[in-house]
Amino acid sequence: MQQLSPAEQALLAPIDPAPLLAQVLAWSAINTGTRNLAGLAVQAQALADAFAVLPGTLSMVAPAPVETVTADGAVTALDHGAHLVVSVRPEAPRRYLLTGHMDTVFPLGHPFQHTSWLDGETLNGPGVADMKGGIAVLLAALAAFERSPVAASVGYDVLINSDEETGSLASAPLIAELARGKAAALTYEPSALPDGTLAGARAGSGNYSAVVTGRSAHAGRNPDEGRNALVAAADLALRLKALHRPGLSVNPARIDGGSANNVVPDKAVLRWNIRPAATADADAFARALGEAVTAVEVAHEVAIHVHGGISRPPKPLTPEAEDLFGLVRRCGAALGQDIRWKATGGVCDGNNIAALGVPVVDTMGVRGGAIHSADEFLIVASLAERAALSALVLHRLSGGE
């Protein structure tokens, strides 16, 4: 096993778990559900204050415009919070991207709003693992890396976005802008398993809404003159579900619409998600979707308008990504951490980064589990553990021992 050099030991020794835990406790007390713009603004300011310790420029970037389809089929703008960007040594010839997200899946009215200790080592609370713990790890790792003698020769951008939990639609252009030209990227989602296993290859993800427009009629006097949008939406849902297969998960999730029992409904909205394992699977779905829409329009004499698409491209393990994973594994071994990885159907900003050809490890955050539920937990010892791992990875990635 490769050991830490004296310089590396000195680099990592000042990492103190107490401030990391204090940050997690303070940040998790702020509700940052993606739609809670006021809470996100408070969190963004708290993060700006914390990240001010880094040598660089800090800015709040306005969200990109996003549209949503309402339950009645109207298309309307959807507001999002601003994104935090820290740029350090932008003139450096070799630069990295480190990303996290400040939003959680728990809205302001959700009952899960407070932290509690499950035992002496395990903290339960909203966002403690996904990913306010990860942001604390990211910041501590960079603060440690800045002590490295090789840090001055490289630069990096940090992005903490406000909408990852809903697909990063308002930050996708910014992710793409910051990812271009980077030598590598690290994202601070929690580990895939509580033992620290990383996520390797990831499927892609796409969210869609189909607005179905039929013709209203009286259910008793002239029902055959109507064109039932609800039935057409149900037919489309069944046709889409029939496309589900290995390599392509298709999940019809909701139909909005309907009317009084004595009215043939003329409007319905079908919503669904797909998870293609590879780009070829996404392309095959696109072709099949067009065929299914046409078939339903003809069969039911309705009009269908589809909104949405692939927001997270599939993320295969490229040779460059495997090299980066190998470095993380070697750094883990030097720290006594057994680093492994496995494929997963989950998605994150790592998908977007990898699509730009940048090697990325996207589960560098804390060990924990039960994310997206009121049982979410953080293994507190992993705060310092993972901060040391990232700091060492950055050190060696930059030419250190």
Tell me: the pLDDT tens digits for 321-331?
999 999 999 99
How far CA 75 is from CA of 68, 216, 277, 305, in Å, comes to: 6, 21, 30, 11
| In a shared domain, residues 24 and 129 | yes
Q: How far apart are CA 334 and CA 316, in angstroms?
A: 27
Evaluate whether residue 1 is within a structural domain: no
CATH number of the structural domain spanning residue 286: 3.30.70.360
User: What is the reported pLDDT for 1?
Assistant: 42
Mean pLDDT in residue range 243-248? 98
| In a shared domain, residues 196 and 226 | no
Q: Does the structure show a pLDDT above 90 at 239?
A: yes
Out of 312, 327, 346, pick the residue that ends a domain. 312
Evaluate whether residue 165 is within a structural domain: yes
| In a shared domain, residues 124 and 187 | yes
| In a shared domain, residues 353 and 290 | no
Q: How far apart are CA 230 and CA 225, in angstroms?
A: 15
| In a shared domain, residues 332 and 384 | yes
Evaluate whether residue 121 is within a structural domain: yes
| In a shared domain, residues 356 and 386 | yes
CATH number of the structural domain spanning residue 362: 3.40.630.10
User: What is the reported pLDDT for 2?
Assistant: 63
| In a shared domain, residues 129 and 47 | yes
Evaluate whether residue 123 is within a structural domain: yes
Q: pLDDT tens for residues 153-186?
A: 999 999 999 999 999 999 999 999 999 999 999 9
| In a shared domain, residues 334 and 276 | no
Out of 312, 343, 361, pick the residue that ends a domain. 312
Out of 284, 312, 340, pick the residue that ends a domain. 312
Look at the chain and report how many structural domains it folds into: 2
| In a shared domain, residues 128 and 143 | yes
| In a shared domain, residues 194 and 319 | yes
Domain that holds residue 100: 6-203+315-397
Mean pLDDT in residue range 237-246? 98
Evaluate whether residue 109 is within a structural domain: yes
Q: Does the structure show a pLDDT above 90 at 276?
A: yes
| In a shared domain, residues 130 and 151 | yes
Evaluate whether residue 168 is within a structural domain: yes
Mean of pLDDT over the chain: 97
Rounded to two decimals, what is the model's pTM?
0.96
Q: Does the structure show a pLDDT above 50 at 219?
A: yes
Evaluate whether residue 258 is within a structural domain: yes
Evaluate whether residue 276 is within a structural domain: yes
| In a shared domain, residues 354 and 288 | no
